[in-house]
Amino acid sequence: MDFLEQLKAHINEHDTFAKANRMKLETVREGYAEAVMEITEDSCNAVGTVQGGAIFTLADLAFAGAANSYGDKCVAMSAAVSFIRPGSGKMLRAVAREVNKGRRSCVMEVDIRGETEKLVAKIQFTGFFYEK
């Protein structure tokens, strides 16, 4: 198993919060990752749409896959969230892509889409590489 497959397996196994909320990484490539979430009754807020924190967590999981794909440990330093429309249906997909990578930091954009491919949220993360 190569490094990226090991990374995906490690995050899927050890991110207990994501696992408990039916989220997993599906794809990890250098500077890129996709994560999916099965929407259940427990994912929803009082108005019946996906809770914003669940959407953010899914984006954070995709960010973790993409940002750690370089082989250096990376954590989020900041994030800017734009919720575009309510999340609904049976699943959401987050796609994280590198915008910029420096020696000690990176910027990733994450798009979250529903089953109809309509944009649900857009989040920009800044990550910090804390271990080389």
Looking at the 3D structure of the chain, how many domains does it have?
1
The per-residue pLDDT for 132 is: 61
Closest CA to 53 of 24, 14, 79: 79
Sign of the dihedral defined by the CA atoms of residues 50, 45, 79, 17, in that order = negative
Closest CA to 61 of 27, 88, 23, 108: 23
Chain segment 105-121, per-residue pLDDT in tens: 999 999 999 999 999 99
Sign of the dihedral defined by the CA atoms of residues 71, 75, 80, 81, in that order = positive
Chain segment 23-73, per-residue pLDDT in tens: 999 999 999 999 999 999 999 999 999 999 999 999 999 999 999 999 999
* Residue 64 CB burial class (10 angstroms; 0-12, 13-18, ≥19): buried
The per-residue pLDDT for 104 is: 96
Containing structural domain, residue 43: 3-131
CATH code of 43's domain: 3.10.129.10
Structure tokens at 54: 């669940």
